Amino acid sequence: MTDAAPAPAAGPASLPMFYKNPMPLEPQRHATAGLKPQSDLRFAAHTNAVPLTSTELAFAARTYPIVFSTHSPTVPFAVVGLRENENLFVDEQGAWREDCYIPAYVRRYPFIFSEVPEQQRFVLCIDEGAEAFENNSARPLFVDGKPSEILQRALQFNETFQQHYADTRRFGEWLDKNNMLEDRVARADLGGGQSYTLRGFKLLNPERARLLEDSQVLELHKRGWLPLLHFHLQSLNNWGLLGSLTRARGGLQPSQSQPS
């Protein structure tokens, strides 16, 4: 029996998942730095859950079970594996499974915004510990001291991500305020004497959702959050896919996986 928490906490240095050494991007420090032209997603191979923003739930719900974190802030996660430290959608070559949605949290790496509270602004950083990062690059992030096209696209992507993440946090706060979520456990019997129990996540309580007052439903509708509840519930049909992929990777016999 293995317990795996789909919503991993920050590391010992309180760094976000995947990031090892994020540093603010500066023309002087990163004058010749850039990213390797050929990169892969192996950095995401050793997690079984990836954060999502609210705008992604419609796409993620087609493939992954979507759960909510138990820690604050409450945000949705795509469960990408049943076993701890195993992403079933990244292969040995670092390629994401074909035709499956890749979360924006993965696509933005190795860039990330860092908040400067005293200045009330965000600074774009790059993870200098990323495999794709190189100090002397044929595709530098700065050209004549100005952001290159690559860096401009990264900045735009991260600005959009930050806006969506802020809305996602507000959605999570609404769910908490209205007591819509409950702690759940997913059990998977994979055959061959192997079984797994996933803990550390929350799901929507369908009965509480059914009993929402008209004013609450109207608020959800006006904020654009009402469909998110349905996408979340729809996504829970995907536990079986994770079981199938786990068995295929481990050569186990068919069985079932579902939350309880």
pLDDT-based confidence at residue 255 (cuts at 50, 70, 90): very low
Q: What is the pLDDT of residues 164-191, one digit of tens each?
A: 999 999 999 999 999 999 999 887 776 6
Q: How far apart are CA 37 and CA 138, in angstroms?
A: 8
- Percentage of the chain modeled with pLDDT above 70: 88
Task: Find the Cα–Cα–Cα–Cα dihedral 170, 181, 74, 163, rounded to 10°.
Answer: -30
* Cβ-contact 181, 175 below 8 angstroms: yes
Q: How far apart are CA 124 and CA 42, in angstroms?
A: 23
Strand ranges for 117-153 from DSSP E: 121-127, 133-134, 142-143, 146-147
Q: What is the pLDDT of residues 46-64, one digit of tens each?
A: 999 999 999 999 999 999 9
> What pLDDT does residue 2 have?
31
Give the contacts of 32 (CB within 8 A, at least 6 positions apart).
Answer: 135, 136, 137, 140
pTM for the structure as a whole: 0.88
**Domain tally, the chain:** 1
Expressed as residue numbers, the domain containing 54 is 2-259
Query: Percent helix, strand, coil in the chain (nearest 5)?
Result: 35, 25, 40
